[in-house]
Amino acid sequence: MFDQPDDAVERMARHLRQPVRIDPALDERVMRAIATLPTPVRSTAGVAWSWLTRPRRLTLTPLGMVAAAAALAAVVLLYRRGPGPPVLPRTDTRPFQFVLVAPRATRVSLVGDFNDWDATRTPMRRVRATSSLWSTLIPLAPGRYRYSFLVDGAHWRADPAAPAARDDEFGTPSSVVTVGGS
C-alpha cells in the first residue's frame, strides 16, 4: 500500500484506523429529531420499480433451459442482419516509448495512470551516459492515459511533445497519450 512499508505516513494511517468512540447520546438526539419527521414509507411505484429491477437468482429445470435456449435462438435469428461487423483481433499491450530532454536532471521518473502515479515504478534512463535524452519503454494496452515526468523527485514536467491534459485539477502539469486499438 505504501512505498516504504514502515514510513511515518503508514504509522499515521495505522493510528487513524484505531476505533473512535462517539457519545452514544447522539443516538437519542437523532431519534428525537426524526420523531418530528414523516415516516419514510416507500411509494407503491417505488416498491414496484425496485421489485422489477432487483437482481434475481433463477433456477432452471432442464425443460426450462431448452425453452430458454430456443427463445434466445429465435431472437438471434429474427434480428440477425447479414454477416455483422468483422470480429476485431484481440488487442494486446504494445511497447510505447516516452522521451524527455532534461540535460541537468540526475533522475527522471515516468508517472501516470498506468502505474498508479507511483514514482518508483517507472524510472527513466539516459539514452547514453552523456546524453540529455531520457527514455523508457513500457507496454500499454489501448486506452487514454494521463501522465507526467517527475524530475529529480521534485519537479513535475508535462511532455512537451504531447497534448496537455485538460482535466488537471491539481496544478500538476500533465499530458495525455492515447494508444490505439488496432
Partner 1 sequence: MGTSDAALVRRVQTGDTRAYADLVARYRDRLGRYALHMLGNREDAEEVLQDAFVRAYRSLASCDDPERFGAWLYGILVNRCRTAGARAARRAQRFVYDPTALERAPSAAPDGRTEWEDVVRWALARLPPESREAFLLKHVEDLEYEDMARLTGAGVSALKMRVKRAREQLRAILKEAERV
Interface with partner 1, residue 19, by CB under 8 A = yes
Interface with partner 1, residue 163, by CB under 8 A = no
Number of residues that bind partner 1 (CB under 8 A): 44
Cite the DSSP H helix spans in 54-178: 62-79
Interface with partner 1, residue 8, by CB under 8 A = yes
Cell of 115: 502505474
Which residue, 31 or 129, has its beta carbon nearer to partner 1?
31
Q: How far is CA 62 from CA 65, 66, 69, 70, in A?
A: 5, 6, 11, 12
Q: Which amino acid is at 176?
A: V
Which residue, 129 or 154, has its beta carbon nearer to partner 1?
154
Interface with partner 1, residue 116, by CB under 8 A = yes
Per the CB < 8 A criterion, the answer to whether 96 and 140 are in contact is: yes
User: What number of CA atoms fall less than 13 Å from residue 70's CA on the CB side?
Assistant: 6
Interface with partner 1, residue 152, by CB under 8 A = no
Which residue, 29 or 60, has its beta carbon nearer to partner 1?
29
Instruction: Report 28-67 residues binding partner 1 (CB under 8 A).
Output: 29-31, 33-35, 37, 39-43, 46, 49-50, 53
Interface with partner 1, residue 75, by CB under 8 A = no
Interface with partner 1, residue 16, by CB under 8 A = yes
Cite the DSSP H helix spans in 17-61: 25-35, 44-53
Task: Note the Cα 158 to chain centre separation in Å.
Answer: 21
Interface with partner 1, residue 117, by CB under 8 A = yes
Among 2, 93, 94, 143, binds partner 1 (CB under 8 A): 2
Rounded to the nearest 10°, the torsion over CA 19, 23, 25, 29 is -90
Interface with partner 1, residue 146, by CB under 8 A = yes
Interface with partner 1, residue 6, by CB under 8 A = no
Per the CB < 8 A criterion, the answer to whether 173 and 156 are in contact is: yes
How far apart, in whole angstroms, are the C-alpha atoms of residue 98 and residue 149? 10
- Chain positions contacting partner 1, by CB under 8 A: 1-3, 7-9, 12-13, 15-17, 19-24, 26-27, 29-31, 33-35, 37, 39-43, 46, 49-50, 53, 113, 116-118, 146, 167, 169-170, 172
